Amino acid sequence: MGPLLYFALSVIQLSSILATEQIPLKCFLQDYNFFNIFDTSAVKTSSNVVPKTHSLHFDTVTVNSAGFDIDGWKHDGTNIKFQGLNDAILDEFGFNFTAKVLQLTFHTDMVVTYDYKSSGTLFSTPINGEGFAEVSLKNIQVSFIVPFDIKKDNDKKFIELKSFNYSYDIRDNATFKFLSLTSTNKELSESIEQQINQRWKYLTVHFGKVFYDSLAEKIFNVLKNYVMNFPLKNFGEC
Ligand SMILES: *[C@@H]1O[C@H](CO)[C@@H](O)[C@H](O)[C@H]1NC(C)=O
Ligand SMILES: *[C@@H]1O[C@H](CO)[C@@H](O)[C@H](O)[C@H]1NC(C)=O
Ligand SMILES: *[C@@H]1O[C@H](CO)[C@@H](O)[C@H](O)[C@H]1NC(C)=O
């Protein structure tokens, strides 16, 4: 375990008062390695199996497609790969059993690659091209607010995450590389790319949401399956 993750573990807050039951933090950390939840092999195993490996694999999160058509710019991505969760650092993680809300905040550097098709206009310039895109996000912070219910199955209590709210903030910067935004004119293409990079904040806030939505949805689903496997009753026994 790298020093960064070790640090992250130590800042986990678990506010965990469930009626009279307390969930000791040590149980949580010993038995459930939060940091491997994005391991795709863990996701594929049956929902009854709690991943217990202590190796850290976040792997790449892949989304088949996402796209937008905003202010005259149409931009569709396929085979979207989000890399960087491997090095994510938890800023905040806690269950509030009074408000029944799980809070999760982490930050990381991320590289997003995809195949794109783009048309319409951006910055009053006509765009018509397709190719490979690479977006580098330095210090993206993602926060989730996740309401949950405590469900009871036979004698076992578990947490069911209901829905989520999330927000993202790119705190350092973003760099965009597009292969050929206009198929006819290389200079124009480079000029648009330059403008995109100069106005990265506007781009990520105004147009990017649908891409982050698709990532957030994946993270939520992984989290939901994962948390479902916490048998609350057993926490008292470790
Ligand atoms: C949990 O939620 C309750 C109700 O909203 C709030 O009063 C309390 O401060 C929260 N606890 C923590 C540790 O945030
Ligand atoms: C972007 O942020 C990183 C730190 O995360 C910094 O090293 C880099 O120089 C910045 N790039 C630009 C173009 O500002
Ligand atoms: C989610 O965010 C919206 C808009 O900010 C807000 O109205 C809603 O109450 C939030 N829901 C939760 C569960 O926090």
pLDDT tens readout for residues 22-79: 444 444 444 444 444 444 443 334 344 444 433 334 578 999 999 999 999 999 999 9
Give this prediction's pTM: 0.76
162 Cβ closer than 6 Å to some ligand 3 atom: no
Q: Which ligand is nearest to the CA of 143?
A: 3
Using pLDDT thresholds of 50, 70 and 90, give the confidence band for residue 233.
Answer: low
Q: Which ligand is nearest to the CA of 165?
A: 3
99 Cβ closer than 6 Å to some ligand 3 atom: no
The alpha carbon of 165 and the centre of ligand 3 are apart by a number of angstroms equal to 6
169 Cβ closer than 6 Å to some ligand 2 atom: no
**pLDDT at position 152:** 82
User: Which tokens belong to 133?
Assistant: 């895109």
User: Which tokens belong to 148?
Assistant: 């949950």
**pLDDT at position 234:** 52
What per-residue string of b and e applies to 97-115 under the rule 16 or more CB within 10 Å gives b? beeebbbbbbbbebebbbe
- 218 contacts 224 by C-beta, under 8 angstroms: no
The alpha carbon of 26 and the centre of ligand 3 are apart by a number of angstroms equal to 32
The closest of 227, 62, 69, 218 to 158, measured between CA atoms, is 227
Q: Is 179 a residue whose pLDDT tops 90?
A: no
Q: Which residue has a Cα nearest atom 1 of ligand 2?
A: 173
Q: What percent of the chain has pLDDT over 90?
A: 41
Higher pLDDT, 21 or 130: 130
Measured at the CA of 8, the angle between CA 216 and CA 13, to 5 degrees, comes to: 80
Mean pLDDT of the chain: 76
C-alpha 193/C-alpha 180 separation (Å) is 9
**pLDDT at position 144:** 94
139 Cβ closer than 6 Å to some ligand 2 atom: yes
- Mean pLDDT value of segment 83-104: 81
- Mean pLDDT value of segment 189-203: 93
- 82 contacts 112 by C-beta, under 8 angstroms: yes
C-alpha 37/C-alpha 87 separation (Å) is 13
60 Cβ closer than 6 Å to some ligand 2 atom: no
Domains of the chain: 58-227 (3.15.10.30)
The atom number, within ligand 1, closest to the CA of 15 reads 13
Using pLDDT thresholds of 50, 70 and 90, give the confidence band for residue 171.
Answer: very high
- Mean pLDDT value of segment 116-138: 93
